Amino acid sequence: MQARQERDFGGDMAQDIEKIEKVMCAAPVIPVLIVEDPKKAVPMAEALVRGGLPAIEITLRTAHALEAINAVNEHVEGAIVGAGTVLDGKQYDAAVSAGARFIVSPGATANLLDAADQHSVPLLPGAATASEVMFLLERGYERLKFFPAEQAGGASYLKSLSSPLAAAKFCPTGGVSLDKAPDYLKLPNVLCVGGSWIADAKAIAADDWSGIEARAKAAAALKI
């Protein structure tokens, strides 16, 4: 009984690698999105899925992010919608309730990892240093977000972590563009990249679904 209580209420649980890898390996790029108008979420996500990018991260940076996540989860066939910029347990709970199928955070705290233990929806926590990666490996997290990728040292820095921290595989995010993505995707410790260039705020505001689809197709064609 005690073991069950530890499992249900913050015990030492590991990341569900199989679940998070399905997200990370769905395509070379996970679009990272800021959605101001929830009515635009469905056509935006449909354009991304048509372009070959099913895994979609909607960040919790706007008042309507949860509504957008719910709309995509309910109405866009083939989409794997997740919540980004999740910082605490309350946001984790809200994102899961909205229909998020994966959770992304720019970093990791003990409290956030404890919150993740309460859910079957997997967490992709962020790390930028060897010590942060080691902390997450100790907690059973081997699939991580490298953030902020370019500002933290870029592809050459991330490559230097591949030998001493071989168990960790990453989704570099932050300053990654179509031109820079191949430098990351060729690394042995990278499964995908995250990028905001595919559907930026200007394109979403302009209802440029054809442009978003075209950029999604270009991103989906990148080699892993």
pLDDT of the residue at 12: 55
- The structural domains of the chain, with segments of one domain joined by +, span 17-219
Question: E strand or H helix at 114, and its extent?
Answer: helix 110-116
Q: How many CB atoms lie within 10 A of CB 130?
A: 13
pLDDT of the residue at 214: 99
- For residues 195 and 84, what is the distance between their CA atoms, to the nearest angstrom? 12
Put simply, whether the predicted model's pTM sits higher than 0.75 gets the answer yes
Residues taking part in catalysis: 57, 145
Residues 6+ apart with CB under 8 A from 171: 24, 30, 124, 143, 144, 145, 146, 190, 191, 192, 193, 194
Question: What does CATH list as the number for 17-219?
Answer: 3.20.20.70
pLDDT per residue, tens digit, the chain (224 aa), is 333 223 333 345 799 999 999 999 999 999 999 999 999 999 999 999 999 999 999 999 999 999 999 999 999 999 999 999 999 999 999 999 999 999 999 999 999 999 999 999 999 999 999 999 999 999 999 999 999 999 999 999 999 999 999 999 999 999 999 999 999 999 999 999 999 999 999 999 999 999 999 999 999 999 87
CA-based torsion, 15, 222, 197, 173: positive or negative = positive
pLDDT of the residue at 144: 99
pLDDT of the residue at 166: 98
Q: At 71, which amino acid appears? A: A
- For residues 195 and 27, what is the distance between their CA atoms, to the nearest angstrom? 12
